Structure 1
Amino acid sequence: MKGGYGSGGSGAKIDRKVVEKNRRIHMKSLCFKLSSLIPKDHNFPKDALSQYDHLDQAADYIKTLRERIESLKQRKKCAMGKEKYKEVGGEMSNEFGLPLIEVRHQDSILEVILITGLKKRFMFYEVIGVLEEEGAEVVNASFSVVGDKIFYTIHSQAISSRIGLEASRVSERLNELIQQ
């Protein structure tokens, strides 16, 4: 009888060891997938971080993304006119002074987003003219009116990929144009 119990008990121990080993392999695989999704901090080599450090880095990154989402939601509400004003020092002031301009540049592509009020009028062709003078070819331009705001979106690309576009110069010139 003792031999029967011993062999049955060792089989259960082996099964637990295999299950635990498989669980650890699975967890290691999941941690690797998680760490591959998080942008790496250039201060540390990838292999120098422990598994705990990878998890800590992932948690920090998720917190940063949540904060960014909340910030973007707030900006969207303000831009859409739902929260036009906030109190600053006992006075009501416009949170985002209009017109607003944002220039995004990636490789040879330039995207210009312009938000103005209905009262602020300017010539749209002048904006396109600035882009063309700076070496951009307008690929697509659109606008929409939401409440008391006009949203313009202009997609352009560099006429010559060798020369490219200088986004800061375009942004500077467009800011000068819309502030007139």
Structure 2
Amino acid sequence: MDRKSGSSKRDRRTIEKERRNKMKDLYSQLNSLVPHDHTSSSRTIQDQLGDATNYIMQLQGNVENLRQTRDDLRGNGATNGGGRGGSSGGNSNSSSSSSVQIQVNENENTVVVTLMTTLECQFVFTEAVRILHEEKAEVVNASYSVSENIVFHTIHAQMGEYASIERITERLKRFEL
């Protein structure tokens, strides 16, 4: 009976040790997926989990904002409310490409793109985000405001290692006429 309880105890210890090691590996994997500021060197697991939770909630907010923007763009491009149908958002550039103003400002490793468009010309925002992504700049924040028929978009992006402000500016300025 002693041997059985001893081996049972050891099995529980082994199982618990394996569980802790597995949890440690999962914490490490989760922590590697969360962007960090490099000012703090070591953080507790609770802090890491809190950071991961906040990051996930931020990403969920970003996804929701992007969905809303997509739905708004689809709704503004369609005349009869269908929204989901065809390619309504991207084909409206022929009539209103002259109503686009773009300003690009660089500050150290960040770039701020300001777009001023009409309601009918909001596809430029999507294209600007696409260009920034293609040029290895990470969009950190994007916002807009509407005043009558004018939409003001502001996009803040972090310049990547291979990002070129000149190429970004050149590509974005093609929308102005």
State TM-score, norm by structure 1. 0.49
User: Quick check: which has more Rg, 1 or 2?
Assistant: 1
Structure whose residues are more often strand by fraction: 1
Structure whose residues are more often helix by fraction: 2
